[in-house]
Amino acid sequence: QPVLVLNAGSSSLKYQLVVPESGHVLASGTVERIGEGGGDGGGGPADHAEALQQMQQRLRDDGVDLQAVGLRAVGHRVVHGGPDFSDPVLVDDEVLSRVRDLVPLAPLHNPGAITGIEAAQEAYDVPQVAVFDTAFFSDLPAAAATYALPRDLAREHRLRRYGFHGTSHRYVAGATADLLGRPLADLDQVVLHLGNGCSASAVHGGRAVDTSMGLTPLEGLVMGTRSGDVDPGLHAFLHREAGLSLDEVDELLNKRSGLQGIAGVNDFREVVRRKDAGDDDARLAFDVFVHRLKHYVGAYLAQLGRLDVLVFTAGIGQNSPPVRAAVVEGLGGLGLSVDPERNEARKNEARVISPDGSPVTVAVVPTNEELAIARQAAEVLSRG
């Protein structure tokens, strides 16, 4: 019996129908341009309810009948769970209203998730489970979660490090323990999730103790179009010197910075291609990307005090041998290195790429957020 996993944005709906136990995917896809047209054939579906109908039609076209497969549950990806949601939950009215309370923390993301949940509640008479991207980090130690801001302001506006990509970090940490055949509880891990968004986490015994994304998904590593860390004085500087408004600075840092800002392109494959062809900006983008990665690997090594395994995941982490090689370059004295042949091998499964007997294992472990959500949804149901 599959779980339907939904990732609803304001104008798109990603779906996957997957069996939690086996990981077998019956169907997956994306419905786009929601709300951009009418239901009359031109443009996209009018709303999320119509998007679900479109999805069902596509499933039928693929020979999958949602009624016949015996849908077990719908698992919803919700970006922001705020300070309180530390686990997936069965959606009821109270949960929905709490997710609504979190809209100020994630104005671009949570509204889409709410609309998606409501549409799915109408459409399917099965349990709905919300899985939060922040949940894995909700128990960060206070010293890691707290910004050095006035306490009253921080309390009033719920300012703290939330972290994102939590479903991926949690899943990968678990899959890494499986790969190594060691109990999760025994491992100190640094997980690098390097996709369009990038984040690092420090995981001690299966619990996150630090992470690079913060109040918003803008902090930390260099990303496709996001700057990651900058001087907090930059905003006022750009306002004064370049005449930019705060909105313009925010847009700049989120949409026109990162690899895109330095290299002029945000696709990492293209950055590497241009670098290899001798493009100086692409070389700089690569170097800054790697420099920031080393920064966080070292920082989390210090927070953990020791390290069993460094794990690479997501689009760049799984597919870019040069990044993995560059991150551990010069870290042999700290026990980190990769075997060139293992690192270069093009495989899709979880694998170790450090030489046998390395003090610290370096691994590549594919992430699978949909499967993680499906499994967590199934787990919530089995708990009853």
- Residue closer to a second copy (CB basis): 112 or 217: 217
Q: How is residue 181 written in tokens?
A: 């055949």
Binding partner at 320 among ligand ADP, a second copy, none, C-beta below 5 to 8 Å by kind: ligand ADP
Kindly tell me which of 262 and 314 has the beta carbon lying closer to ligand ADP.
314
HEC string for 329-358: CCCHHHCCCCCHHHHHCCCCCCEECCCCCC
| Of the residues 219, 279, 308, 370, which one makes contact with a second copy according to CB under 8 A | 219
> Is 258 an interacting residue with respect to ligand ADP (CB under 6 A)?
no
150 in contact with a second copy (CB under 8 A)? yes
Q: Which of 54, 138, 260, 320 binds ligand ADP (CB under 6 A)?
A: 320
Under the criterion CB under 6 A, does residue 347 sit at the interface with ligand ADP? Answer: no
Tell me which of a second copy, ligand ADP, none is bound by residue 315, counting a contact when its beta carbon lies within the kind-specific cut-off of 5 to 8 angstroms.
Answer: ligand ADP
User: Whose Cβ is closer to ligand ADP: residue 179's or residue 192's?
Assistant: 192
Q: Please choose which of a second copy, ligand ADP, none residue 296 contacts, taking the beta carbon within 5 to 8 angstroms, the exact cut-off set by kind.
A: a second copy
Catalytic residues: 133
Which alpha helices (DSSP H) does 62-108 contain, by range? 66-69, 93-101
**Of the residues 15, 164, 296, 312, which one makes contact with a second copy according to CB under 8 A:** 296
**129 φ, ψ (degrees, to nearest 5):** -120, 130
Q: From the list 47, 248, 250, 267, which residue makes contact with ligand ADP (rule: CB under 6 A)?
A: 267
- Structure tokens given for 60: 């039928």
Among 31, 208, 249, 316, the residue binding ligand ADP under the rule CB under 6 A is: 316
Residue 384 identity (one-letter amino acid): G
In DSSP terms, 215 is beta-bridged to none
CB of 343 to ligand ADP, least distance (A): 13
Positive or negative, the CA dihedral 116, 117, 119, 123 is: positive
Q: What distances in angstroms separate CA 274 from CA 279, 282, 329, one per listed residue?
A: 5, 6, 21
The residue from 216, 254, 303, 319 that contacts ligand ADP (CB under 6 A) is 319
Q: Give the residue with the Cβ less far from a second copy, 77 or 292.
A: 292
Query: Which of ligand ADP, a second copy, none does residue 30 bind to, with CB < 5 to 8 Å depending on kind?
Result: none
Site string for a second copy, 300-339 (x = CB under 8 A): xxxx-xx-----------------------xxxxx-----
Going across the sheet that includes 3-8, the strands are 25-31, 13-18, 3-8, 73-78, 128-132, 89-90
Q: Which of residues 183-222 bind ligand ADP (CB under 6 A)?
A: 195-197
Compute CA distances 346 → 94, 99, 172, 312, 321, whole Å: 47, 41, 19, 14, 9
Task: Give the residue from 185, 135, 137, 196 showing the smallest Cα distance to 161.
Answer: 137
Q: Give one DSSP letter per residue of 170-225, joined into a string.
A: HHHHHHHHHHHTS-GGG-EEEEEEESSSEEEEEEETTEEEEES--SSTTSSS--SS
Per DSSP, 75 falls in state E
Q: Which is nearer to a second copy, 15 or 296 (CB)?
A: 296
Residues facing 75 on adjacent strands:
5, 129
Binding mask 177-216 for a second copy (x = CB under 8 A): ------------------------------------xxxx
Directed axis angle between helix 110-123 and helix 93-101, to 10°?
Answer: 160
Instruction: Kindly state whether residue 157 participates in binding a second copy, applying the rule CB under 8 A.
Output: yes
115 binds, among a second copy, ligand ADP, none (CB under 5 to 8 A by kind): none
Query: Which residues lie near ligand ADP (CB under 6 A)?
Result: 195-197, 224, 267-269, 314-316, 319-320
